[in-house]
Amino acid sequence: MSAPQEVKVLFFDVFGTLVDWRSGVAREAKALVGAKGRQLDWLAFADAWRGEYQPAMNDIRAGRVPFCKLDILHRGNLDRILPRFRLAGLEEPARAELNLAWHRLDAWPDVPPALLRLAKCFRLAPVSNGNISLMVDLARRNRFPWDAVLGAEYAGDYKPKPRVYLAAAEAFDCSPAQCMMVAAHSHDLAAAAVLGLRTAHVARPDESGPGTGERAPSVAVDIAAADLMDLADRLGC
């Protein structure tokens, strides 16, 4: 990286990059719905729920409907997939509780120690499509040392819309070049880079199951890291 000393703030994608949504959602669904005697492929259930994630944001990105927080979209997606798993009869309190599965995800093991290192060198904030309460619950659970919680709810739009990245930079009084977006997804990094942010890719090859994730970025990035400890090493932190 040519001028790492210029970077003042690191922005983090969260789902997939910092936390393992797949096993966490499967675990929570099994604990809540499985406890009622239902048996099914809980990883497939998690995959189906996550599969509705990007489409659900498109109407908001396109300006066809007003912004609402991700918890609301997750709930609509849950209602949509339940019949596919013969769970259309799941009652209301259980649906609301199940929707909080996304607030109870565990970090990949490298993340908490690496964030503590990185916090000594940079300001840190999630720039996620997850809402603030969701980010706070994940931070409390996994001890993420955020300086602020930015992202979709702060910007009122969803990544990869430019406003999400730019609002985060402005909140820290930084130019885009003073900010580095960290993500396991090339499309997220490509959107940040075009605005002038620095970018770091983190490999999460098993994000949606073994071998499904990006082992390496498919776009030009400033740093391609094996994990977050490797990123801290490369940033000299």
Nearer CB in complex with its own copies: 126/160: 126
The least distance separating its own copies from the CB of residue 150, rounded to whole angstroms, comes to: 8
One of 6, 30, 43, 71 touching its own copies (CB under 8 A) = 71
Q: Check if the beta carbon of residue 203 is closer than 8 Å to that of residue 215.
A: yes
Q: Which is nearer to its own copies, 140 or 215 (CB)?
A: 140
**Residue 143 binds to its own copies (criterion: CB under 8 A):** no
Can you tell me which of 67, 172, 213, 219 binds its own copies, judged by CB under 8 A? 172
- Dist CA 201 CA 217 (whole Å): 6
Q: Are 168 and 154 in contact (CB under 8 A)?
A: yes
Is 14 near its own copies (CB under 8 A)? no
List the structure tokens of 226: 């094996």
**Start-to-end C-alpha separation, the chain:** 14
As a whole number of angstroms, the longest Cα–Cα distance in the chain is 57
| Single residue of 36, 84, 86, 140 touching its own copies by CB under 8 A | 140
Cα distance between residue 124 and residue 180, in whole Å: 10
- The region of 32-40, 59-67, 125-133, 227-235 touching its own copies under the rule CB under 8 A is 125-133
Looking up tokens 């990286």, which residue turns up? Answer: 1
92 binds its own copies (CB under 8 A): no
**Judged by CB under 8 A, which of 23, 133, 178, 208 binds its own copies?**
133
149 binds its own copies (CB under 8 A): yes
Q: Name the residue nearer to its own copies (CB basis): 63 or 145.
A: 145
* 43: contact with its own copies by CB under 8 A: no
Residues 6+ apart with CB under 8 A from 71: 99, 102, 131, 133, 134
Check whether the bond before 160 is cis (ω within 30° of 0).
yes
Residue 177 structure tokens: 């070049």
Q: Does 139 engage in binding with its own copies (CB under 8 A)?
A: yes
Binding site for its own copies (CB under 8 A): 71, 123, 131-133, 135-136, 139-140, 146-150, 153-154, 171-173
